[in-house]
Amino acid sequence: MEFAELEKKTQFVFKNKDLLQTALTHRSYINEHRDYSLPHNERLEFLGDAVLELAVTGYLYQHFPNPEGELTNLRSALVNYKMLATVASTLGLDRFILLSRGEAKDQGRARQVILANALEAVIGAMYLDAGYELTHEFINRHILTQLPEIIQSGNYIDPKSRLQELVQEKSGITPTYRVLTEVGPDHNKEFLMGVFVEESKVGQGTGPSKQEAELAAAADALRTDEWKKHV
């Protein structure tokens, strides 16, 4: 596989190209190509996740005097799968990932998760290939540069935490969440969650997991201000 274009975009040239190719190899590809000589990228993803979290945590600690909870929210906004998938797409990673035919057709959240995982695997490969300093430079250039926009947009604020803070401030009540509907097979479920102030529903939202649907429900409650009628 020819990586010159990708290395130009990432501004990182690998000494060991097999590391990069491994980082871009999804488990599904190996299932269809039994004679493939390299492993899939899950171990590199595990390593890259830790390197990325250390780099982002260190940067936030050094540059922001915010309390721990706010720093955690900022970090989550930088390293969640949606943000990492966006960065991966900008770098053109999707054109290089080796996937099975079925996975290659997939779109939506599943595709975003694959992209995010591949980016973490690439970061792990960079760490093994060149060490922490050069990997940190990559993270600075392509991930930490997203921080000003995140702060300006307020996207780092967890809507569940914000809703709970506002409702408790007004009434002392803690919002609760309930599954309204659950559809689809186990590997592709869609949840509809409601958020309630006591017995009054103040918002609802959907997502592929209960956690994401709860976030969507809290965001809905904040957007409509329905919660204000019940505190």
* Active-site amino acid positions: 49, 120
Contact (Cβ atoms closer than 8 angstroms) between residue 3 and residue 96 = yes
Residue 193: C-alpha distances to residues 113, 142, 159, 162, 217 (Å): 22, 34, 14, 17, 6
Contact (Cβ atoms closer than 8 angstroms) between residue 123 and residue 52 = yes
Q: What's the rounded Cα separation, in Å, for the pair 193 and 41?
A: 34
Q: What's the rounded Cα separation, in Å, for the pair 3 and 97?
A: 11
| Lookup: tokens for 12 | 């990182």
Residue 108: other Cβ atoms inside 10 A: 9
Q: Strand pairing of 176-183 and 200-207? A: unpaired
Q: Of 95, 98, 125, nearest to 15 (Cα)? A: 125
All residues at 6 or more sequence positions from 221 whose CB lies less than 8 Å from its CB, including other chains? 163, 175, 195, 202, 203, 227
Q: What's the rounded Cα separation, in Å, for the pair 196 and 178?
A: 8
Q: What's the rounded Cα separation, in Å, for the pair 178 and 217?
A: 10
